[in-house]
Amino acid sequence: MVWTQDRLKDRQRVVHWDLFRSAPDYAMERVLDMFSAGDQRIYNAYNKNRISLAKSAFTDGNFSLVIKDVVSSDKGLYSCNLHHHYCHLYESIKVQLNVTKSARKERKFWDGEKAVFVVLVGSTVVLPCVNRRSIWTDGGDITAEAFAYGDFSLEVSDLSAADQGLYSCHLHHHYCGLHERRIFRLTPSSPSQALPNKDPNSGVVDGPRVINVILPDQRAHFLQQLGYILATLLLLALVLLAIVLLTRRAKGPVLEYDPRKMEKSHMSANDLEMVTTEMKIYQDEPKLDYKNNLLKEKAELTKMCSPKAIDLDKEMAKACSY
């Protein structure tokens, strides 16, 4: 495995020129493009050594397209497009190029939407595209040891009125989800407008004063992490509840065997059975209404077993025969 260093700064800014041809083709084609620290790439071999950009485009902000030996096929709508991939910025400038064979018709004018160039065949034309904002040029830069020393100060050279505006320094830590931003307002002023310094200690140079503004841009990240934590705790609570319910269901009611209790319960059951039987027999007896005691005694005698009649003569005869 080979590890190589990829300089993102070399590829984060790009300019490309496109050509839109009207009737009868109605086609769009890429003329050329160039990265902030790369070579120019020309897409049509016919345009080599004929169409070019200045190599110092990303230094001085002049992205004008130079076309030599203009031919009739160069006619069309040209667009100069600036892209900043990291900052997601995009700017575009359109220029109309018309070709003529009469020198009297050469001119340049503004049609209300774009610049129009009418040039002579075989001549050289420069289609303008100038943007000197510091984001497209190398006017501002930070040191290579920024992450080593924590000094991310931006140095702007050749300060001009075009550099006026609001600057913000963004620090991102993608793995930890951290984001800090510091905002600065830059207002260039001419030396004549500078206020006189009445301080006697004018020779003392104060250090730079920096206002740190940390904005809570990671609220969504904090809420997301909090949601993960709450979801995890809820899941653990559900698992514990399920374990408790399963444990109780598995145990169930436990019956202890005690011989004394079993014997008592058995005896009491027999006693109850006998009592209920006696009660049934007592209840089944017919209730008779006796008029006097004689009838009652006679009824009781009939209930008793009748005496067995024994023939003594027969019994004696049997005994003698033995």
DSSP 130: B
Q: Which of 116, 134, 133 is nearest to 125 (CA)?
A: 116
Say which range, 98-107, 151-160, 299-308, has the weakest mean pLDDT: 299-308
Flag whether pLDDT at 88 surpasses 50: yes
Q: Is 8 left (phi over 0), alpha (psi -120 to 50) or beta?
A: alpha
Mean pLDDT of 301-307: 61
Report domain extents, the chain.
8-127, 140-189+209-217
Q: Are 18 and 29 in contact (CB under 8 A)?
A: yes
The residues near 146 (Cβ < 8 Å, ≥ 6 apart) are: 152
Which pLDDT band holds residue 3 (cuts at 50, 70, 90)? Answer: very low
More confident residue, 3 or 10: 10
Flag whether pLDDT at 4 surpasses 50: no
**CA angle, corner 86, sides to 84 and 87, nearest 5?**
70
Flag whether pLDDT at 313 surpasses 80: no
Which pLDDT band holds residue 159 (cuts at 50, 70, 90)? Answer: confident
The token duo for 96 is 């109309």
Q: Are 12 and 90 in contact (CB under 8 A)?
A: no
Instruction: Express each pLDDT in 56-86 by its tens digit.
Output: 888 888 999 999 999 999 999 999 999 988 7
DSSP 121: T
Q: Are 65 and 50 in contact (CB under 8 A)?
A: no
For 53-68, give one letter per residue: b (16+ CB within 10 A) or e.
Answer: bbeebbeebbbbbebe
Flag whether pLDDT at 110 surpasses 80: yes
Flag whether pLDDT at 1 surpasses 60: no
> How far apart are the two ends of the chain, measured CA to CA in Å?
132
Instruction: Express each pLDDT in 257-271 by its tens digit.
Output: 555 655 555 555 455
Amino acid at 84: H
What is the distance between the alpha carbons of residues 262 and 268, in angstroms, rounded to a whole number?
10
Which pLDDT band holds residue 307 (cuts at 50, 70, 90)? Answer: low
Instruction: Express each pLDDT in 235-259 by its tens digit.
Output: 999 999 999 998 888 876 655 555 5
pLDDT score recorded for residue 115: 94
More confident residue, 313 or 138: 313
What is the distance between the alpha carbons of residues 56 and 287, in angstroms, rounded to a whole number?
137
More confident residue, 137 or 281: 137
**Residue 148: burial class (beta carbons within 10 Å; 0-12, 13-18, 19+):** exposed
Q: Are 300 and 288 in contact (CB under 8 A)?
A: no
Average per-residue pLDDT in the chain?
75
- Cis peptide bond upstream of 128, omega within 30: no
**Strand 140-141 to 65-67 pairing:** unpaired
What is the distance between the alpha carbons of residues 95 and 78, in angstroms, rounded to a whole number?
5
Top-level class of domain 8-127: mainly beta
Strand partners, 173: 178
Q: Are 17 and 37 in contact (CB under 8 A)?
A: no
Which pLDDT band holds residue 194 (cuts at 50, 70, 90)? Answer: very low
3-state SS assignment for residue 157: coil
Flag whether pLDDT at 212 surpasses 80: no
Flag whether pLDDT at 273 surpasses 90: no
Strand partners, 21: 27
CA 190 to chain centre: 49
Of 12-16, 162-166, 223-227, highest mean pLDDT: 12-16
Amino acid at 299: A
pLDDT score recorded for residue 2: 36
What is the distance between the alpha carbons of residues 202 and 214, in angstroms, rounded to a whole number?
33
Which pLDDT band holds residue 306 (cuts at 50, 70, 90)? Answer: low
